[in-house]
Chains A and B, each alone.
Chain A
């Protein structure tokens, strides 16, 4: 039974009641043509690239309404690289330390903020150095302005990841210098003083939506929609229902639902599974007395049935991880160095002379999948005689567990279900594990000389294949500490209205400016 909504309304008494109350029946239908509605699970916080949280609504707005020199693009093999944008006449890395750029003349900022110039580029990149995201600009020295539209980006040290980590992604936005400097303390908040892009940021309605409209003055690639709305959807089930009711054009799906969509999509929708850029693992504190013996850690690596975790938590839609570099990014490993083998696990425990081991497993309650994984892990390890106590904690507690500066929890931390997010370069994923991160984000608490020297060397390695091998070797070193049980790179699962043609950034963030009508 699939009567259209209009039929139901006109055929029932509801119409009379509805019009008596002033309801407009046309509102019942999804907005047609003009509006693109994208589901968001978190609200907008700040639009300043130096101080935002890089939430989807934030970078979605900036990609639509602000210029940059380069943006990510996937090659035929699915590996992420970069390309120059339509704002650039020329963009070229001359040597290890020099990048030249030339802007196309004639791009005018809105609100009378003048033309897009090389001064804006200089201002925007140099202000990143001291910002919250300054870590991405450590190798960055300065921008020399050589003309109104031309300039040179100068690095202090060779840094091959500068493109994917800084310039070509969510730290590479160019801001209007004069308009930003005129703001109190020179920061953007939840509005843009001047904009330049196919869409214009119109308003943010807290807890509800962020609204962009077509930029009437835009001369570049034309915008496909009159309006784009990033709509807050707090509950994923509601997002799926709104998609079906025509109130959204794209929404994230729960794994169970996604599995159903894959088999038989609801009419008017299709299913998209995008490789995620989170990497999830179970970390073992290598320094904890109960886990100090490498054999015990290896036993746990072999005692956890990752396939079962994935089947239960992600309905089997997420790939098995082989390390921390997700699929589609340089350095992704073909295979892990161990596999599920309870017999070997028991043997290792026996060899280590350990019995009746009892461990704690911390996870973040905000992630439903983690609770499922935790329960499978508990059952798996029970099979090899290890008792696991589940320790769900809220995210405020969770993210401080292993940080020495923020309390004493790290001292008794044993196992943790962890997930970090990476940009489209392996360096971004790897940066939380060198010795400097010991006691900060390296909660497995190890240091390794070979890892350190590879980490330093890979930063300036220009040979792509060689660089990839270095990162693979680094993951092998991590694995050999016994501190890691790789779980998955959680797949990003969407239901999409057949009305639109979606486009995505690495990790499945909406590329709203490239969405088109189907």
Chain B
């Protein structure tokens, strides 16, 4: 088991490294030049040369990749070419609001979606099941940015219950939570439907497994069967899905962050990419990839813990 954990973590690190090299090369292949964007129409040859040297853009890409990787270990991700601040600071500032948003979004989605899925699965084909199906599938289909705008229109403007802009005052947790409600709702709603459907499907399947049927035949109480036997198995595809969906979550976070003018990693990367702010793009992507690299082994371990068959095959 320990060997498995170590192996998963090493693998994650390897993935991060490969992904970073690939992204680094790709980001540099994108046409467009930060210097022109930054200096705009006032670029003089001297200013261009100075900025290029400052950003290390006058060196071959291979050298740039090497330099960048050699500096990571000392915690140096370079300098934001617009504000001249260390990229580490820029990324570390953007990370908490994004983590809060994605965790809150996925958290409430799981808390509601998984029970709904189980509930449906236990009475397949009934009217309740079918009504829940229609509602949850409907929820999946609403793009988060449309939902976000409507939330603002209704809850913020019409009712005035929640704020429109930003992530709340620094150091004021209540204010930050208050600012998080609508964005988390917009990020999570689709996932409620998604998880409910996923869990319903695997749950129906799990209820048909031999040991669950045996447990039923032995007359164990239904809630025990559901929680101890069926859900344990049924949740496996869900956990896999959640583990690998960090990238997707970050993407819906970008859309929602944009509507609510929230700071965050998604917005940071998207803006930096448009401005060809390479150090920030690389730093932001590194953070995103590391998030993924952390989520992956966790989801693998959870699966191994949940499903004895997977554990056996290790």
User: Chain A: interface residue count, which band?
Assistant: 35 or more
* Cβ-neighbour of A207 out of B31, B33, B267, B274 (below 8 A): B267
Q: A53-B82, A420-B41 are in contact. Are A394 and B274 (CB under 8 A)?
A: yes
Q: Which of A1-57 contact B (CB under 8 A)?
A: 4-5, 8-9, 14, 18, 21-24, 27-28, 43-46, 53
**Nearest residue, chain A, Cβ from B257:** A234
Report yes or no: B163 in contact with A135, Cβ–Cβ below 8 A.
Answer: no
Q: Does B308 contact A (CB under 8 A)?
A: no
Q: Which of A228-261 contact B (CB under 8 A)?
A: 231-235, 237-238, 241-242, 244-245, 247-248
Q: Does B205 contact A (CB under 8 A)?
A: no
Bound Cα distance A406, B152 (Å): 43
Q: A21-B177, A245-B156, A396-B274 are in contact. Are A207 and B42 (CB under 8 A)?
A: no
Residues of A contacting B83 in the complex (Cβ-Cβ under 8 angstroms):
44-46, 189-190, 206
Report yes or no: B44 in contact with A135, Cβ–Cβ below 8 A.
Answer: yes
Q: Does B37 contact A (CB under 8 A)?
A: yes
Q: Which of B107-146 contact A (CB under 8 A)?
A: none
* Cβ-neighbour of A209 out of B157, B166, B262, B268 (below 8 A): B166
Report yes or no: B261 in contact with A133, Cβ–Cβ below 8 A.
Answer: no
Q: Does A441 contact B (CB under 8 A)?
A: yes
Residues of A contacting B90 in the complex (Cβ-Cβ under 8 angstroms):
206
| B42 CB, nearest partner CB in chain A, Å | 5
Report yes or no: A234 in contact with B166, Cβ–Cβ below 8 A.
Answer: no
Report yes or no: A189 in contact with B152, Cβ–Cβ below 8 A.
Answer: no
Report yes or no: B31 in contact with A407, Cβ–Cβ below 8 A.
Answer: yes
Q: Does A275 contact B (CB under 8 A)?
A: no
Report yes or no: B167 in contact with A208, Cβ–Cβ below 8 A.
Answer: yes
Q: Does B161 contact A (CB under 8 A)?
A: yes
Q: Interface size of B by Cβ–Cβ distance < 8 Å?
A: 55
| A266 CB, nearest partner CB in chain B, Å | 9
Report yes or no: A247 in contact with B164, Cβ–Cβ below 8 A.
Answer: yes
**Nearest residue, chain B, Cβ from A185:** B84
Q: A21-B177, A231-B166 are in contact. Are A132 and B261 (CB under 8 A)?
A: no
Q: What 1/0 mask marks residues of chain A from 490 to 507 whose CB sits below 8 Å from any chain B CB? A: 000000000000000000
| B48 CB, nearest partner CB in chain A, Å | 8
| A322 CB, nearest partner CB in chain B, Å | 22
Residues of B contacting A396 in the complex (Cβ-Cβ under 8 angstroms):
30-34, 37, 273-276
**Nearest residue, chain A, Cβ from B158:** A1
Bound Cα distance A22, B34 (Å): 45
14 A–B pairs (Cβ distance < 8 Å), ordered by A: A21-B174, A24-B174, A27-B163, A28-B161, A28-B163, A132-B47, A134-B47, A135-B42, A189-B83, A208-B166, A231-B261, A234-B267, A238-B260, A409-B31
User: Apart from A9-B161, A399-B36, A399-B40, what are 17 other A-B pairs with CB-CB below 8 Å?
Assistant: A4-B160, A45-B82, A132-B44, A134-B44, A190-B85, A206-B83, A207-B262, A207-B267, A208-B167, A231-B165, A232-B166, A234-B259, A394-B274, A396-B32, A396-B274, A396-B275, A400-B31
For the complex of A and B, list the 9 residue pairs with the smallest distance between their C-beta atoms, beginning with the closest.
Answer: A396-B32, A5-B160, A207-B263, A22-B174, A242-B164, A45-B82, A396-B276, A234-B258, A241-B152
